[in-house]
Amino acid sequence: MDRRDFLTTASAAIAAGAAAAPSAALATDHDHPMPPDWAEMARRNDQIVMVVYPGMTALDLVGPQYMFANVLGAKVHLVGKAHEPVACDTGFSILPTMTFTEAPAEPAVLFVPGGTTGTLSFIEDDESLGFVADRGARATYVTSVCTGSLVLAAAGLLTDYRATSHWVVRDLLRHGGAIPVDQRVVVDRNRVTGAGVSAGLDMGLHMVALMRGPDYAKACQLLAEYDPQPPFAAGTPAGAGPQATKLMDDMFAAFKERTVAVLRDRSRR
């Protein structure tokens, strides 16, 4: 049984337990009973554009990509400036499946991951930022994780939108016209932004629910066995405490200063 078959079975089971679940039916390409609308999902053709660039944080991309890849009727594209492998900030490379010029013109989803210096280099590159601005203006959903929201802000896609980012830089979003919000995932109209790194899994599930409904999203969560139980309650400044928070904040002081300069420069253009 592959992942799609598992989702079919799990989705049917979850829907069957819902208060107003539809009667089970057989899809033409599966042997498992499922609600009729699941078969309809598989016939859709949603194009998901996930931007990749040198220096991005791998988990920012991989968490949401796992969720997107399990959406029936959707095709995920890893889109880079060129076809060459893209080195992530943790030391391995990801191979783009298409280039900016080959990417769908009107995607169902545009997604941008974050990073540190790699993110700022991306923002400073007119071609790269222009691609995000172009596709974002025509996408059904515009999404990001971590400092990917800085890219969206620099591209003019978060002006007057509520958004989040990694806690270190979240308040800096205001320099790109956004309204910073201290939440793990923020949904404002068709803008869906996730906080730092691991929040990509949560953002991805939010997107699956928006695209295919909560029952289907629950099946994706079950497939991933996503039931986090970290050994420490230190994933936020409040949990980590002032000493650890100040240490991390001080480490990124130069990055934050440069971020403000870049966003202000872009806003003046």
Q: Are 49 and 110 in contact (CB under 8 A)?
A: yes
In terms of domains, do 4 and 116 share one? no
In terms of domains, do 36 and 66 share one? no
In terms of domains, do 114 and 216 share one? yes
In terms of domains, do 56 and 136 share one? yes
pLDDT at 3: 63
Nearest partner of 131 among 164, 98, 92, 94, judged by Cα: 98
pLDDT at 22: 31
pLDDT at 267: 83
Between helix 214-223 and helix 3-16 the angle, nearest 10°, is: 130
Enclosing domain of residue 249: 44-268
- pTM for the model stands at 0.90
pLDDT at 38: 81
Tell me the DSSP string of 215-234.
HHHHHHHHHTT-----SSS-
What's the domain count of the chain? 2
Residues 6+ positions from 93 with CB-CB distance below 8 Å: 85, 86, 87
In terms of domains, do 87 and 31 share one? no
- β-bridge partners, 224: none
The ranges of the chain with pLDDT < 70 are 1-34
In terms of domains, do 14 and 60 share one? no
Would you name the residues annotated as active-site residues? 146
In terms of domains, do 85 and 187 share one? yes
CATH number at residue 62: 3.40.50.880
Q: Whole-angstrom Cα distance, residue 166 to residue 168?
A: 5
Q: Whole-angstrom Cα distance, residue 23 to residue 186?
A: 34
